[in-house]
Amino acid sequence: MENLIFEERADQIHRKGEKPYQMSCDRDSLAGAVSQRACVFCGSRVVLYPIADAVHLVHGPIGCAAYTWDIRGALSSGPELHRLSFSTDLQEKDVIFGGEEKLHRALTELIDRHQPRAAFVYSTCIVGLIGDDLKSVCRKVSEEKSIPVIPVESEGFKGNKRAGYNAACRAMFQLMGTGATDSISPLSINILGDFNLAGEIWIIRDYFQKMGIEVVANITGDGRVADLQRAHGAALNVVQCSGATIDLARMMQESFGTPFIRVSYFGVEDMAEALYSVARFFEDRDPRIMERARDLVREELSTLYPKLQEYRKALQGKKAAIYVGGAFKAFSLIKAFRLIGMRVVLVGSQTGTEEDYQELHDITDEGTIIVDDSNPLELSSFLKEKDVDVFVGGVKERPIAYKLGVGFCDHNHERKEPLEGFVGMLHFAHEIYTSVMSPVWRFVPRKSSHSGGELSSKAMGGCTRLAGLSA
């Protein structure tokens, strides 16, 4: 294997079985290592922007605002204000004389033109440097226009993406506790940490509604300001993904006493367990709720399992690599790959915690590489070493896979197919199958440490199609 690992990063990589488990994580990225992590501003933007009836104004140079709905396609069932990108487009003159006046003008114009239910104003690096007083401008416009105008303290240099999640949670928390809650059912939840990519939150809401549960607020996919304002009236917060919205769940527990549970909607086991955990929580209030959850799972699995078996036959023994933002998603993906007969040989995350990596170590097979806050060189070298058939990641991992002639599955915010829920598992199996078995690999030699860049026999073998499944 080529040695592409920086000495200072050696303790953030573990090969299961080679030595006793120990890993470092949750620290600043190493200078020069070109981390896959996004900046603080990007972290806050990804959490907040699916709130579809709010104006999202990026206070900074136009370049920061390039991070738009087109990259992160959260769907809305109603208003679509979140699809528009607004920026104060700070120029040299604004940097010298300050951008507060421009921000005030931009906010006033946007609110008059779009009549939003609230406005979020994101602070970028340069705003942190020149010291514009976002809070006072937001307060002033809020009084003038009588809507919440909320500053998001997301200067890019303040930490990593995780700090951006926290800034987003603090911004949303300012809305909570301000709406009426009288009509909310005792069997009610908020869905936290789902961004409604390809309509996924609609699948999950439908499951909960079939169990007789009211969903008060989507936080944040297909989100609405008024729902956030009454979210404190829900009986339970159901939190997906370890990083993005867990801070909000903790704030709500502390201030409103709302308990939370952590779930994942990816893969059969975790999806079913998510429904059962919610049912267990409400069993005292509704003794028949568990029965309804079981009926729902049974019905979904009766159609899903026979179809999955076909994919399993075709994919048996193939190898997968996973690199995701929050490690929580990786747990579900490992189980989902097992269900379709595949082995995970590399797994990593941008922002995993000590507990996350311990759990990854517990559930992975011997020889699996576990990595924290990786970079393109490391990932390429691991993919080549393990000669993987498919790489699961996000927008920044896609080119790494394609350059190596490896199949890719987007499990991040660019995806167009819902991968959550029982139906999502079927889509996932189909996508993995079509990527691994695609005839394109006949013409694109997979680069691996074993093949030396030549067309590997495995890549050729991957072209065999299974009757009845279309690639």
Site residues, ligand SF4 (CB under 6 A)? 39, 41, 60, 64, 124-125, 156
Q: How far is the CB of 156 from ligand SF4 (least distance, A)?
A: 3
Between 64 and 238, CB nearer to ligand SF4? 64
CB of 388 to ligand SF4, least distance (A): 31
Shorter beta-carbon distance to ligand SF4: residue 159 or 199: 159
**Range 127-147 burial, b when 16+ CB lie within 10 A, else e:** bbeeebebeebbebbbeebeb
Taking the complex as a whole, the smallest distance from the CB of residue 195 to ligand SF4 amounts, in Å, to: 19
Helices (H) and strands (E) in the chain, counts: 17, 14
Q: Which two tokens stand for residue 188?
A: 């009610």
Closest CA to 357 of 9, 30, 23, 8: 23
Nearer to ligand SF4, 133 or 286 (CB): 133
CB of residue 29 to ligand SF4, shortest distance in Å: 12
For residues 126 and 426, which CB has a smaller minimum distance to ligand SF4 in the complex?
Answer: 126
Concatenate the DSSP letters of all residues of 303-321 into one string.
Answer: HHHHHHHHHHHHHTT-EEE
Q: Smaller CB distance to ligand SF4: residue 87 or 190?
A: 87
Would you say 64 or 400 has its CB closer to ligand SF4? 64
Work out how close the CB of 63 gets to ligand SF4 at its nearest, in angstroms, rounded to a whole number: 6
Residue 41 or 165 with smaller CB distance to ligand SF4? 41
Q: Decide whether 166 or 380 has the Cβ nearer to ligand SF4.
A: 166
Shortest distance, CB of residue 45 to ligand SF4, whole angstroms? 9
Rg of the chain, C-alpha, whole Å = 23
Three-state DSSP state, 409: strand
Please state the closest distance from residue 40 (CB atom) to ligand SF4, in A: 7
Distance of CA 9 to the CA centre of its chain: 25
- Where on the phi/psi map is residue 60: left (φ > 0), alpha (ψ -120 to 50), or beta? left
Smallest gap from residue 75 Cβ to ligand SF4 (A):
25
Report the residue closest to ligand SF4, judged by CB.
Answer: 156
What region, left, alpha or beta, does residue 98 occupy, with left being phi > 0 and alpha being psi -120 to 50 degrees? left
Closer to ligand SF4 by CB, 36 or 196: give it: 36
| Tokens coding 138 | 């937001």
Task: Give me the least distance between CB of 60 and ligand SF4, in Å please.
Answer: 6
User: How many angstroms separate the CA atoms of 367 and 50, rounded?
Assistant: 39
- The contacts found for 447-455 with CB under 8 angstroms, 24 or more apart, are 447/384, 447/403, 447/404, 447/405, 448/383, 448/384, 448/385, 448/386, 448/387, 448/404, 449/1, 449/384, 449/385, 449/387, 450/387, 451/387
Structure tokens at 423: 């139906």
Contact 137, 168 (CB under 8 A): no
Contact 241, 329 (CB under 8 A): yes
Q: Which is nearer to ligand SF4, 98 or 199 (CB)?
A: 98
Lookup: tokens for 460: 């050729």
Positive or negative, the Cα torsion across 305, 311, 315, 316? Answer: positive
- Closest separation in Å from C-beta 34 to ligand SF4: 14
Least distance between ligand SF4 and beta carbon 76 (Å): 25
Q: Which one, 156 or 348, has the nearer CB to ligand SF4?
A: 156
Q: 387 CB contacts (<8 Å, ≥6 apart)? A: 319, 446, 448, 449, 450, 451, 456, 458
Please list the residues that pair with 390 across neighbouring strands. 320, 407
